[in-house]
Amino acid sequence: MDHRPRAWTPGGRRDRCAAHTARPAACRCPGRRPLCAHPPRPGPLRAALNATAAGLVAAGLADALLGDPRRLHPVAGFGRAAAGLERRTWADAHTRGVLHVGLLVGATVAAGITAQRITRRPAARTVAVAAAGWAVLGGTSLRREADRMAASLRDDDVAAARARLGHLCGRDPEALDADGLARATVESLAENTSDAVVAPLFWGAVAGLPGLLGYRAVNTLDAMVGHRSPRYARFGWAAARLDDAANLVPARLCAALTVAVAPLVGADPAGAWRAWRADGGNHPSPNGGRCEAAVAGALGVRLGGTNVYAGRVEHRGVLHAAGRPVTPADIAPAARLCTAVGAAAVLASAALAAGIRR
């Protein structure tokens, strides 16, 4: 038998060594069936998955350092296109809403698939995922808005704080005092950390560029038309239900990460776990309450209650009823907690992308 060394080649389902070694006693050929001693070279799919993981980390760093793009924001451009299409597709009917969502999300996912196909090389894939991720992530902008709200309330400038609330949520600000504005800010931080950070990273890890872009399209349409107003009760139904489905896993992942990182920022992980499990369902959304309840328990505050949207009063369940009322001083700890959740989500999504075998 020829025991001269030969170049390593993958062989068999488990990449067993197809060449003899220089020493017969150490032979690891397929006839002896041991695992190959040489590390297998990653195939094209594995290299692409590793590139996706690297791109997600780069996207998280870009968002942390730069925030949202200041000009020519792709999400803003998508919103303008969606508003233009709505003028043609709107009707007070579920079917027209399905058509509206299908056209916009379908086109966005198709663009993501095309981009994924033309970026097969790992370096190109990393750059593409990083650019798309930077465009769709919003954690830093969310935190900055919360910081501005906290500064206005710290200066007792309630009028300025009311004017800023529209950057965080659609709640009517006029009847809110400083504590009410602080509660709205903390609730927005909790829910939007899932929507703007955890969910896009999750879908980027699972589905690559189509996942990143498709999720952002779904979530943007929900924000635009997924309301319970007379105009959108039927037309926006499809956007709202699709957004609920897309956030089913990410919202629970966000709550779990809140529990995990709570000790790092001086919050209470046990309280976060108990509030999530006990009160996560006390919310009109099947997802938003999970994130808000976990944050409430971690900070020891009480969230939920009565909100007013465009003159419509909505009574929501109380999350962590044993907690104290929110004050403006709770905004900064909530922002630190949600920033830690976002950082953990970047690492978790990268690990998920690198570990997926398709």
pLDDT in tens, the chain (358 residues): 444 444 434 444 444 444 444 444 454 554 444 444 555 555 555 566 689 999 999 999 999 999 887 777 899 999 999 999 999 999 999 999 999 999 999 999 999 999 999 998 999 999 999 999 999 999 999 999 999 999 999 999 999 999 999 889 888 888 899 999 999 999 999 999 999 999 999 999 999 999 999 999 999 999 999 988 889 999 999 999 999 999 999 999 999 999 999 999 999 999 999 999 999 998 888 999 999 999 999 999 999 987 877 667 777 889 999 999 999 999 999 999 999 999 999 999 999 999 875 4
CA-wise closest residue to 276 among 351, 341, 216, 209: 341
* CA–CA gap between residue 61 and residue 44 (Å, rounded): 26
The encoded tokens of residue 22 equal 């220089």
Domain locations in the chain? 1-41, 44-348
* CA–CA gap between residue 331 and residue 137 (Å, rounded): 21
Residues in the chain: 358
- Please say whether the beta carbons of 52 and 356 come within 8 A: no
CA-wise closest residue to 318 among 329, 302, 307: 302
**Any alpha helices (H) in the chain, and if so which ranges?**
44-66, 74-89, 94-117, 122-136, 139-154, 158-164, 178-193, 199-225, 237-246, 248-261, 269-279, 288-299, 331-355
CA-wise closest residue to 125 among 215, 47, 57: 47
Could you tell me the CA-to-CA distances from 356 to 80, 112, 289, 351 in Å, in that order?
35, 19, 29, 9
pTM score, two decimals?
0.85
SS3 236: coil
Q: Which residues pair with 10 in a beta bridge?
A: 17
